[in-house]
Amino acid sequence: MTVTHAEPFPGDPPVTDELVREHNLNQEEYARIRAMLGRIPTFAELGIFSALWSEHCSYKHSRPILKRFPTHGPRVLQGPGENAGVLRLGEGWAVAFKIESHNHPSAVEPYQGAATGVGGIVRDVFTMGARPIALLNSLRFGPLSDARNRYLFAGVVRGVGNYGNCVGIPTVGGEVDFAPGYSGNPLVNAMCVGLLREDDLIRSAASGVGNILMAVGSRTGRDGIHGASFASEELTQESEARRPQVQVGDPFTEKLLLEASLELIASGHIVAIQDMGAAGLTSSSAEMAARGGVGVEIDVALVPTREAGMTPYEILLSESQERMLVVARKDRVGQVREIARKWELDATPIGRVTDDGMYRVRHGSRTVVEIPGEPLVEDCPVYEPAALEDPAVVALRSARPAQLPPDLADAWRTLLDSPSIASKRWVYEQYDSTVQASTVLGPGGDAGVVAVPGTPLGLAFSTDCNSRYVRLDPFEGGKAAVAEAARNVACTGARPIGITNCLNFGSPERPEVFFQFREACRGIAEACRVLETPVTGGNVSFYNESPTGAVDPTPVIGMVGLIEDARLAVGAHFRATGDSIVVLGATAGHLGASSYWAVVLDTVAGAPPPVDLAGERRLIDFLVAAAEQSLLQSAHDLSDGGLAVGLAEACIGGPYADGPRGAKIDLRRMQNGMSAEAVFCGEDHGRVVISVSPKKRERLLELAGQSGVPAVVVGDVGEKLAKLEVVFADRTVRAGSAELRDIYYSAIPRRMDLTLAQDAAD
């Protein structure tokens, strides 16, 4: 055993058992630390272990499970373990992407919490050498009937928007969901996608003994100290006091940092770059050293600070935003400074790469930290806790609503008025979706599509998770999240090529939560294997618990798809009177865990629909082929609310279309003994509603037959502003397209106006 040497910084408190507990380290972990050092750690060392061995940084409860994801494939240039995953596109182009959570900060300070979440994920992407070309976000809140939830919703949307808008990255998609399980603990997941030349790919492994560590960007302040540890505990009434731990974002500096970083990477003056994100300088420097198998030595007295008198502990753990750590070639420090200065940023040498494998921190001449580098990052204990399904969930799975079904036309309107289903126009009009002038399909459809400038290629993106399914059956729910994301991307004509995931769960130390996590991951892994969409990275967010309990299990899938010719991208909405409406996939009328039960009958119960992955695969292949042959006028995924919602959305059209369309639909052939509710509102997977011009219809049906995809012609697209008419075996349901459009587009603004009215009254 090596004994390392470090001395306390003057004024630091002595390390006691109580202090260790306050740093969220248990006895076993503390014993391991003492053994590793051969002594009691200094206060600064304790802070470092607390951050790096937090759930957020160490993945100590999730690592064994995450290892089961398929992470390889012919397109994978970089899998999990880096700042972002990278997939090859062809012709020298590659796409870097990742999704990450910022749930805890957003729960106490929605605007800054969400803004800094966007900032962090953008840095993760451009530190791979990629220029960010798209943002998506996946947001979940409690019901809008509650004023606090409206405040969180409005603040998060404003924070997400203002940050991305200023940096100049279009937000082209995402999702927003509302359910009681998120009251008090909203989920804020941001995804960023960047484009790079394969040659420009850079990783975050420090290398080259004698090379110089430089801090680039903002100065280090006392904000966000222990953010990573905060994100690794449950939210309580006292969490409000954590507000000072939420960092403050500066998107203007981020834009400068983006340009400076890309220029530094292209210049060849640096060998590695990493964001000082969660756990700040500590995690960035320790991880860079461990990845490169080298040691580092940092003098924290050289780090530019916002205020005098900051201790090593504070400097190491600060999460001040918009800071980068780069490893400059030892003879290029001046050149790095020059590039930074051009972008009005500071670049300061703060340390160097060493050959002894030690993670060493000095303050002037005093060594305050000396830890063996690789064990610091790798030797955190790994847990695989007990997993046991909650018996209440087992019972729920076989339960069904007690109520009699209400009038189906009323139920239809109720579904379209549900904020989870209704248009998110109120949200996405606050996001710049057209900057970079490459947005082919913006928010409001199945997937966002952007063109890759200078090539014929297009990229499609979607984020998805139906947490009701995951809650009622985590394995099927995990599969469903991947399948739906893939289907959304394929609806535009894109072939799904890979995913990133953001796994939001409660405390892994509770068996019923760990069961959800394990099973959902098993479902994701299986779906990714069959659909050949490798997992390229992501983020685990545990401890999403508020005084009312754990959040609904929410493993969000961020899917990327590739279109060979962006001009052939297919939209979600009906386009021409007289086109045939075709439902692809098999309809079995599965109502368990459906929106119909949840929203109309107020019953979250039943088994979610099973996912047939082979069928999903055939459907995806068919959609890609049909789009390539220009057979599709429109294609829209059927998910929440089944045909009732999917058909209505395709008729209603985008918010700027000059009129919603009517349709004549006959579901009798499809009904086959099912109730009208089941055929109209059932949520069987693997289904898409498409429209096709009459002259291409036969070719399309033939291709569907050859592809093994069921296809049923159900009706025709009607005139603008005409009625929607749906014929069932025992009844006909009608609604005006203009009326449905009004319901669909006013559902969220109408509820948010309550806030404005209340503010005015205050």
Partner 1 sequence: MMRVAVIRFPGSNCDADTLRAARNAGADAYYVWHRDRHLQRADAVLLPGGFAFGDYLRAGAIARFSPVMAAVQAHAEAGGPVLGICNGFQVLCEAGLLPGALMRNARLTFASLPVRVRVETDDTPFTAAFERGATFMVPVAHGEGRYVAPPEVLRQLEAEDQVVLRYVGENPNGSVNDIAGVTNTERNVVGIMPHPERAADPLVGESAGAKVFESMIRRARVPLGGTR
Sites of contact with partner 1 (CB under 8 A): 158, 161-162, 165-168, 250-253, 255-256, 343-344, 428-440, 451, 453, 566-567, 655-656
- Of 429 and 725, the one with the shorter C-beta distance to partner 1 is 429
HSE-CB of 607 using CA atoms within 13 angstroms: 8
Compute CA 418 distance to the chain's CA centroid, rounded to the nearest angstrom: 23
The distance of closest approach from Cβ of residue 131 to partner 1 in the complex, given in angstroms and rounded to an integer, is 10
Residue 334 CB, nearest approach to partner 1 (Å): 20
Task: Provide DSSP, 320-354.
Answer: -SSEEEEEE-TT-HHHHHHHHHHTT--EEEEEEEE
CB of 451 to partner 1, least distance (A): 6
Nearer to partner 1, 251 or 608 (CB): 251
Cα–Cα distance measured from residue 173 to residue 155, given in angstroms and rounded to the nearest whole number: 18
- In total, the chain counts a number of residues equal to 762
Sheet holding 495-504: strands in order across? 439-441, 448-451, 458-464, 554-563, 495-504, 535-541
Q: Residue 428 CB, nearest distance to partner 1 (Å)?
A: 7
- Yes or no: say if 469 and 593 are a contact pair by the CB < 8 Å rule: yes
Does residue 413 contact residue 590 with C-beta atoms inside 8 Å? no
Other beta carbons within 10 angstroms of residue 163's beta carbon come to: 25
Nearer to partner 1 by C-beta: 434 or 548?
Answer: 434
The pairs formed by 427-431 with CB atoms below 8 angstroms and a separation of 24 or more are: 427/139, 427/157, 427/176, 427/748, 428/171, 428/174, 430/157, 430/158, 430/161, 431/135, 431/160, 431/161, 431/164, 431/165, 431/170, 431/171
Judged by beta carbon, residue 160 or residue 647, the one nearer partner 1 is 160
Amino acid in position 753:
D
CB of 695 to partner 1, least distance (A): 23
User: Tokens representing 373?
Assistant: 């580098």
CB of 443 to partner 1, least distance (A): 9
Nearest-approach distance from CB 434 to partner 1, in angstroms: 4
**595: phi then psi, degrees, rounded to nearest 5:** -65, -35
Q: Phi, psi at residue 500, to the nearest 5°?
A: -125, 155
Please state the closest distance from residue 640 (CB atom) to partner 1, in A.
25
**Token couple for 342:** 């051009």
Q: In the complex with partner 1, which residue's Cβ is closer, 42 or 162? A: 162
Of 336 and 451, nearer to partner 1 (C-beta) is 451
| Residues annotated catalytic, as ranges | 56, 102
Question: Shortest CA distance to 265 belongs to which of 444, 129, 425?
Answer: 129
Of 128 and 566, which CB lies nearer to partner 1 in the complex structure?
A: 566
CA distance 373 to 402: 60
* Burial per residue of 285-317, b for 16 or more beta-carbon CB atoms within 10 angstroms, e otherwise: bbbbbbbbebbbbbbbebbebeeeebbbbbbbb
Q: Tell me, rounded to whole angstroms, the distance of Cα 407 from its chain centroid.
A: 37
